[in-house]
Structure 1
Amino acid sequence: MTTSGTITGSGSIFVNGQRFAIDDAAITVNGEPANEAALALGMVVTVAGSIGDDDGDGTARTVKAFTALRGIAADLKRDDDGNSLQLRLLGTDVIVEREGTVFAGTDFDSLAPGSRLAIDGFTGVDGRLRATRIMAAAGVAAALLAGTISALNGTTFLLDEQPVDAAGAVLEGLPADLKDGLRVQVRGNLEGEVLRAVRVSGGTGPTEALDDGDALRLEGRVARLDVDTFLLGGIRILAAGAERMPADLDLAEGLVVEATGHWNGEALVADTLTNRRGTLRLAATLSAIDNEAGTLALQLPTDSIALATDRRTLVEDARDGLPFPSIEDLRTGDYVKVEALRDGDRLLVTRIDRGADTPARVLQAPVEDFTAPATITLLGLSVAVDEARFQNAVDTDIDRGAFFDSLSRGALVRTVDEDGDGRAEVVEFEFPRALDGELAFRDEISVPLVGDKALPANILTDLTSRFAAQDIAGAWLDEDEYEVALADGTRLFYTADGALLDSSGPSAEAGHVTSDGGSIPPGQGGDIPGSPGDNPGSGGDIPGSPGDDPGSSGDAPGSSGDNPGSS
């Protein structure tokens, strides 16, 4: 068995839910011999070893860790919610989550341009890295960058967008000379815009030593999704017929999943696909813990919520700084932030972060019921919202009436009760298929609803006919394709001629009819939501002010004569 993913626990190590004894394993970090103490929570590692017939505990032969990035951060920007940021390091954009990234020697709020950092994570089709771990690397001068060689010309090439000059570098672990498509890690020094390589190392991929039929388990971000075929970390996954866990797992670009199956020489043929990150969010104090059963309960103002954990649940300790915490280290009364997903009739925790006590209580979940304008029901709990501030899915303030006009059962909504009195101060729509930061930073052109270079009239007409009750939260142009985000987090993709290519989100659940009369199920056909650059939520001004009908001017940016994205 070869498995590649994040370390989620110790006591030996847990990777992709599998416990491996590493007493006799050969451990290397960035190609250098290391010991168990060098392995840390959130690191991405590849483990080769054996497991029992019952898929029980395993024994590792080798454990290899390769840092994705190490260097000085630049161009850092934060989202409006304060839950994610994006920084640039060695030509790579990195998504960092307040609650989804493990920190060592630094924290989310301390990150700034000029910070010297070592970063582990998963890349997507857009080239961005979603950080699983960030460690302060002050005093470490050498830069590290892992990626795939392209544009090779003699000894110069690109790793993602970073120019590299490998003249005079030591080449190790490579099957032959440098070539395009080869995955390597480069160690060197940044001179101006060029990374001068001292060493170029191969052997960084999990499939390089596999034979046909070998068992393989991979964790990563879904990229280049085409029905049941996609990439994880550049490795092709064939998932037709694979069991999905949970059963309603809906694949999307950028989703973090685990694929288990066998290697056929060219791809991983998956038997199972497991969702590794949830979009449910809770923050409250622990009211009950059952270590033997692996269950927890969180106390919210009106009732408690029962949660389940498994061997994949990652526990982080921002309060006491324990290096490898587990649920056995948690105590009733601890304040925790929880990420979870629905798995049948249980709420399965994917991450727990113990932090400093605060009265704030957070619930983020699909809406089960609501009574306008007073209450919303999430996870069986009624939340009073009559005095709240409301926001649409791109974090623009809207009034209460516009919020409830856009609200439907199943919409993903986040409520924040800042003082724990049972009444939410903030209520906002969220994009239902996106982790924090996935849709918060974009470079595409923001398109106004009226005026110069506005959203085409045929698209506005289609939106008005399909979604009369919904306001447009934002619109963007990526080459020859338009993306429109509605207030409730529904995303729609159109051709320049006004043909609907794809849709996802609460208002798209029933499916829609394309401009030629054909039926298109939500989440299928055309481009996939979350494809490169489809990142509503920031960049320029948001077209369509709160409450404006599509095509009205209101206070929307992009009034007559404005360029797209101007104010």
Structure 2
Amino acid sequence: MTINKLTKAAGAIAVVLGLSACGGGGSGTTSATAGASSVGTITGFGSIFVNGVEYETRGASIIIDGNPGTESDLAVGMVVELTGSASGATGRALTINASDELEGIVQSNSVAAGTGTMVIMGQTVTVDLNTLFESKVAGVTTIDQVAAGHIVEVSGYSDGTGSVFATRVEVKAPDLATYLIDHPNGVEVKGVVSNLDPAMQTFDIGTMAVSYAGAIIDNDVTLAADLFVEVKSVAGIDGSGVLVASKVELEDDGVKGRQGDDGEEFEIKAVISSPFDGTSFSMDGTTVIVTDNTVFRSGDSSGLQTGILVEAEGNFNATGELVAEKINFEDEGDTEIQGIVADINATGVNSGTVTLQDGSVITVTNSTIMKDSRDNGMTPDTRFNLQALAIGDFVEVHLFVDTTSGDSVAVKLERDDP
């Protein structure tokens, strides 16, 4: 077995939203709810695992980037918006809507050993050891091999102003010309409009200057500062470093972040983007209010600093702010172990324990990211879960130690070649 401490990627913005209440520390336990609505990352299949809940998908309507799809179009690491119902750790999905955060041209890549950042059309994309990676380009097998000019699709969470935390990165094509063959609508980026210049017909998305002089503007949209939009481009980035827009569309009614109705129950898991000022802090565009009645787990208000992953649960007030009833400090995992599987004790489709040959016992939960990355003559299982794991398999596990139970809990379990 090999053990090493991992450096957490700075500036990550990982968001999980939903009405189903997840337990802190990555346990994946959920209180009984009805009419659940959730936005989060797919962590496994058999049906589909989102936010620690196993959702049955039979009969569900599945939409992929605005087009009808099937469950086979979904992948671990994709961010989905899911409606349905849940009770405990199981539920039934009625609709599943998957949408990427960015699909664009790589400008630079400083990722090394699985962590770091890439700049993609003016957006700083942070990846860590929990980020899933796929490639359709020959010769590109690891994320550090992604080069300037490659076209990549990023699933994850954005602050709308140029920072994206990636849950999944897929290399789609070696260059824009190749990409346009199968994607005639062009590359795309979402973000909040800044530095709008109507005379020059330009604005910024993050650090990317956008020219909309020849673009189709979505019906009845008047461009304005702070409007949340999606920009499409078939021409790409010109010689001056400006993204030439072919279409500009309103995104999420033009507002970044969730501002719910008065009394609406809500939960958000995210990295803090604006620190606690004594009254509130911000997560992915949502303002979270802390009161004397807010209950903290594994920390207190002094820990509400930029870049810290927390989970806030409560109800929206009349002005669209989330009044927190509970705030849990989440563990992203800081230890990696490798080894051969000696025993498996499955208590569910994707829950139980895995024992390695050296005696290490790893707890797998509904929230564990499950990934099959074998390529030594084996076809990776895109629906990999604990039931598919076998004694003798080689695994790499990113984990944390639960301070309450003392268990080693897997954040990500990846089956790979020895």
- Identify whether the pair has TM-score above 0.5, normalized to the shorter chain: yes
Which of 278, 281, 285 aligns to 1:234? It is 285
Contact 1:287 1:298 in 2 (8 A): yes
Contact 2:104 2:121 in 1 (8 A): yes
Change (3 A) 1:131 1:269: same
- 1:220 equivalent to 2:270? Answer yes
C-alpha displacement of 1:257: 3.9
Which of 344, 347, 351 aligns to 1:289? It is 344
**Equivalence map 1:276-425=2 (5 Å):** 277-292=332-347, 294-300=352-358, 304-319=359-374, 320-343=379-402, 344=404, 345-357=406-418
Residue 255 of structure 1 aligns with which residue? 308
Residue 149 of structure 1 aligns with which residue? 193
Q: Helix, strand or coil for the counterpart of 1:291? A: strand
Normalising to structure 1: TM-score of the pair? Answer: 0.55
Q: In the alignment, residue 234 of structure 1 is paired with which amino acid?
A: G
- 1:40 equivalent to 2:91? Answer no
Contact 1:71 1:116 in 2 (8 A): yes
Q: Helix, strand or coil for the counterpart of 1:277? A: coil
Change (3 A) 1:140 1:308: same
Q: In the alignment, residue 104 of structure 1 is paired with which amino acid?
A: E
Contact 2:108 2:118 in 1 (8 A): yes
Residue 212 of structure 2 aligns with which residue? 166
Change (3 A) 1:132 1:228: farther
- Find the aligned partners of 1:136 and 1:91 in 2 and give their Cα distance: 17
C-alpha displacement of 1:312: 0.8
C-alpha displacement of 1:335: 2.1
Q: Which runs of 5+ in 1 are unaligned?
A: 358-567
Contact 2:397 2:413 in 1 (8 A): yes
- Find the aligned partners of 1:91 and 1:107 in 2 and give their Cα distance: 22
Which of 231, 243, 252 aligns to 1:203? It is 252
C-alpha displacement of 1:131: 1.5
- Find the aligned partners of 2:327 and 2:296 in 1 and give their Cα distance: 6
Q: Helix, strand or coil for the counterpart of 1:224? A: coil
CA RMSD of aligned residues (A): 3.0
**Equivalence map 1:512-523=2 (5 Å):** none
Contact 1:221 1:232 in 2 (8 A): yes
Contact 2:398 2:413 in 1 (8 A): yes
1:120-150 deviations in Å (ceiling 9; x for gaps): 1233699432221011212433111112222
Change (3 A) 1:15 1:291: same
C-alpha displacement of 1:6: 1.0
- 1:140 equivalent to 2:190? Answer no
Q: In the alignment, residue 282 of structure 2 is paired with which amino acid?
A: L
Q: Helix, strand or coil for the counterpart of 2:366? A: coil
Change (3 A) 1:206 1:16: farther
Q: In the alignment, residue 85 of structure 1 is paired with which amino acid?
A: G
Q: Helix, strand or coil for the counterpart of 1:223? A: coil
Residue 93 of structure 2 aligns with which residue? 60
The alignment of Structure 1 onto Structure 2 pairs a total of residues equal to 347
Change (3 A) 1:248 1:212: closer
- 1:129 equivalent to 2:177? Answer no
1:338-373 deviations in Å (ceiling 9; x for gaps): 12222212222111112211xxxxxxxxxxxxxxxx
C-alpha displacement of 1:294: 0.8
- Find the aligned partners of 1:275 and 1:206 in 2 and give their Cα distance: 23
Change (3 A) 1:339 1:247: farther
1:247-294 deviations in Å (ceiling 9; x for gaps): 789554323444333333522333343515111222222232111161
- Find the aligned partners of 1:27 and 1:210 in 2 and give their Cα distance: 24
Change (3 A) 1:25 1:19: same
- Find the aligned partners of 1:179 and 1:25 in 2 and give their Cα distance: 37
- Find the aligned partners of 2:94 and 2:370 in 1 and give their Cα distance: 26
- 1:184 equivalent to 2:229? Answer yes
- Find the aligned partners of 2:55 and 2:73 in 1 and give their Cα distance: 16
Contact 1:245 1:275 in 2 (8 A): no
Change (3 A) 1:86 1:295: same
Change (3 A) 1:254 1:247: closer
**Equivalence map 1:416-565=2 (5 Å):** none
Residue 64 of structure 2 aligns with which residue? 29
Q: In the alignment, residue 70 of structure 1 is paired with which amino acid?
A: E
- Find the aligned partners of 2:408 and 2:260 in 1 and give their Cα distance: 36
Residue 100 of structure 1 aligns with which residue? 130
Q: Helix, strand or coil for the counterpart of 2:410? A: strand
Residue 269 of structure 1 aligns with which residue? 323
Mean CA deviation greater in 139-148 or 268-277: 268-277
Residue 194 of structure 1 aligns with which residue? 242
- Find the aligned partners of 1:321 and 1:31 in 2 and give their Cα distance: 27
Q: Helix, strand or coil for the counterpart of 2:371? A: strand
- Find the aligned partners of 2:321 and 2:246 in 1 and give their Cα distance: 31
Q: In the alignment, residue 190 of structure 2 is paired with which amino acid?
A: A
Look at both structures and tell me which one has the larger radius of gyration over its CA atoms: 1
Q: Helix, strand or coil for the counterpart of 1:152? A: strand
C-alpha displacement of 1:90: 0.3
C-alpha displacement of 1:56: 4.5
- Find the aligned partners of 2:156 and 2:247 in 1 and give their Cα distance: 23
- Find the aligned partners of 1:60 and 1:51 in 2 and give their Cα distance: 9
Contact 1:2 1:206 in 2 (8 A): no
1:152-188 deviations in Å (ceiling 9; x for gaps): 333532111112233442416x8x5333223222222
Q: In the alignment, residue 353 of structure 1 is paired with which amino acid?
A: E
Q: Helix, strand or coil for the counterpart of 1:328? A: helix
Normalising to structure 2: TM-score of the pair? Answer: 0.73
* Residue identity (%): 27
- Find the aligned partners of 1:243 and 1:7 in 2 and give their Cα distance: 28
